[in-house]
Amino acid sequence: MFQRVYKDMGLQPKVQSRTLEDSATLTDCLIPWTIGASFFSATLGVPTLEYAPFVVMNYTVPFISLIYGITGIAMFKIKDQDAVNEDEAS
């Protein structure tokens, strides 16, 4: 869905992959009606709100990802910009 946007910005596909991981997969277990939260709740035998304080990584990583985006840290550029331009032409 956003592949074109990342390519137009000259960013490598691994940046998009990391962003999706940071924003969707890690936060899944914090939303009570998702499969991830259902699994955690059933396995631990506690409601989502009870284990939420202990999954620090899951709610801090999206903020770290925002900091990366704002500062440009770990935003790996495509080395050969001409290859991107050729893809756009075709």
Q: pLDDT tens-digit profile of 27-63?
A: 888 899 999 999 999 999 999 999 999 999 998 988 9
* Residue 38 lies in domain: 3-89
CA separation (Å) from 77 to 13, 46, 59, 68? 9, 43, 27, 13
Report pTM.
0.66
Total domains in the fold of the chain:
1
Rounded mean pLDDT, 68-75: 85
